[in-house]
């Protein structure tokens, strides 16, 4: 019997520079995510959305970490919803929202497994490496900081979500698809010895090979891993509706293969899609692709 899936929406754009990714969960739901997952034989329930205030409702922002307090609050609520889904025995599928939501998602997964004395890994599919901190950030946008926060670096409000840090160890963290890295991020990645599989390496070795390596690292000594996909991992030709497009990303088939190979490992604990921005999309093609990739990550096969 297949497991159940719990959908959790996070209409968050406080962590982004460009507005509009707060509409991502709507776009993915309108593309039919709930029905499509149910057609794969899963019991699907939708937990609704985390509460996120619009920026218009707020005044003061911290220039080194915009909307720090509000993002930390939403992260705590998200962490509780994700943990509750796991307690029920469901696979959490989190719909973003800018990538700062990973702080809460991973906190929830890590908290659930920590109580069983188990560690988790992360597979981070992204054009960027998201390891800035309030000290290093060029923009002050928190969607460039979530992976650093999960590794225990940066603002305490973010590192301490769910009451403990770090959420994941560097040796169980793998970034795939990187092609735009800030100089201070390079230093932190080197200092922590994080495995970064760049687009160049992916081009040379092929997706299947790099996914095998990434999954092995993320699963080494852990119960399994959280899969978080920033839709800018994919080339803007296939996924134009994203917060921060970068040329030279994964193709349509490569992005499917990545999710299919991750699902094949049987180690996927939770799935997250971030940075869908309907304002820059055409006929919701990026929202539709997000639905397809969620299905692949849940184990959908061509044959």
Nearer residue to Mn ion within complex by CB, 157 or 230 = 230
| Region of 35-43, 180-188, 230-238, 293-301 interacting with Mn ion (CB under 5 A) | 230-238
110 and 168 in contact (C-beta within 8 Å)?
yes
Instruction: State in angstroms the smallest separation of the CB of 52 from Mn ion.
Output: 17
Window 13-52: residues binding Mn ion (CB under 5 A): none
Catalytic residue among 13, 22, 77, 126: 126
Taken in order 83, 32, 142, 233, is the CA torsion positive or negative?
A: positive
Site string for Mn ion, 263-302 (x = CB under 5 A): ----------------------------------------
198 and 207 in contact (C-beta within 8 Å)?
no
Single out the residue of 212, 199, 217 nearest to residue 127, CA to CA.
199
CA angle 182, 167, 17 (to 5 degrees): 40
Task: Pick the binder of Mn ion from 70, 230, 235, 260 (CB under 5 A).
Answer: 230
Catalytic residue among 73, 185, 230, 246: 230
Total number of residues that touch Mn ion (CB under 5 A): 4
Instruction: State in angstroms the smallest separation of the CB of 258 from Mn ion.
Output: 15
Catalytic residue among 13, 22, 70, 99: 99
Instruction: State in angstroms the smallest separation of the CB of 99 from Mn ion.
Output: 4
Instruction: State in angstroms the smallest separation of the CB of 172 from Mn ion.
Output: 18
DSSP letter assigned to residue 35: H
What is the SS3 assignment for 98? coil
Nearer residue to Mn ion within complex by CB, 41 or 248 = 248
What is the SS3 assignment for 117? coil
Catalytic residue among 76, 130, 185, 272: 130
275 is catalytic: yes
275 and 239 in contact (C-beta within 8 Å)?
no
Cα 105 from Cα 271, distance rounded (Å)? 9
22 is catalytic: no
How many angstroms separate the Cα of 89 from the Cα of each of 35, 45, 212? 20, 12, 26
CA atoms within 13 A on the CB side of 11: 14
143 is catalytic: yes
182 is catalytic: no
Task: Pick the binder of Mn ion from 13, 70, 77, 130 (CB under 5 A).
Answer: 130
CA atoms within 13 A on the CB side of 270: 34
246: contact with Mn ion by CB under 5 A: no
281 is catalytic: no
Which tokens go with 126?
């992204």
126 is catalytic: yes
Instruction: For the chain, give percent helix, strand, coil, nearest 5.
Output: 45, 20, 35
Site string for Mn ion, 82-101 (x = CB under 5 A): -----------------x--
53 is catalytic: no
203 is catalytic: no
Task: Pick the binder of Mn ion from 126, 157, 235, 254 (CB under 5 A).
Answer: 126
70: contact with Mn ion by CB under 5 A: no
| Region of 4-12, 17-25, 103-111, 118-126 interacting with Mn ion (CB under 5 A) | 118-126
242 and 277 in contact (C-beta within 8 Å)?
yes
Single out the residue of 72, 73, 69, 75 nearest to residue 109, CA to CA.
75
Single out the residue of 142, 120, 135, 113 nearest to residue 275, CA to CA.
142
Q: Residues interacting with Mn ion, by CB under 5 A?
A: 99, 126, 130, 230
Active site residue ranges? 99, 126, 128, 130, 143, 230, 232, 275
């Amino acid at each position: 019997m297949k497991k159940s899936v719990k959908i959790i929406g996070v209409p968050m754009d406080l962590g982004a520079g460009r507005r509009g990714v707060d509409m991502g969960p709507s776009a993915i739901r309108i593309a039919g995510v709930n029905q499509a997952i149910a057609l794969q034989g899963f019991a699907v329930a939708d937990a609704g959305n985390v509460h996120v205030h619009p920026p218009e409702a707020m005044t003061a922002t911290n220039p080194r970490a915009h909307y720090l307090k509000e993002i930390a609050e939403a992260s705590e609520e998200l962490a509780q919803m994700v943990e509750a889904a796991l307690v029920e025995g469901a696979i959490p599928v989190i719909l973003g929202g800018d990538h700062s939501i990973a702080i809460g998602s991973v906190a929830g997964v890590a908290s659930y497994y920590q109580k069983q004395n188990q560690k988790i890994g992360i597979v981070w599919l992204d054009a960027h490496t998201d390891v800035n901190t309030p000290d290093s950030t060029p923009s002050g946008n928190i969607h460039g900081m979530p992976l650093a926060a999960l590794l225990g670096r940066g603002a305490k409000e973010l590192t301490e979500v769910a009451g403990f840090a770090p959420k994941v160890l560097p040796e169980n963290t793998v970034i795939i698809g990187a092609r735009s890295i800030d100089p201070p991020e390079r230093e932190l990645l080197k200092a922590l010895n994080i495995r970064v599989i760049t687009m160049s390496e992916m081009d040379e070795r092929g997706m299947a090979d790099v996914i095998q390596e990434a999954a092995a690292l993320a699963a080494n000594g852990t119960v399994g891993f959280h899969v978080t996909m920033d839709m800018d991992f994919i080339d803007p030709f296939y996924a134009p509706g994203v917060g921060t497009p970068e040329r030279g990303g994964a193709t349509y088939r490569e992005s499917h293969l990545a999710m299919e190979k991750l699902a094949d490992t049987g180690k996927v604990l939770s799935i997250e899609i971030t940075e869908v921005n309907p304002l820059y999309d055409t006929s919701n093609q990026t929202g539709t692709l997000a639905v397809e990739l969620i299905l692949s990550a849940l184990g959908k096969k061509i044959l």
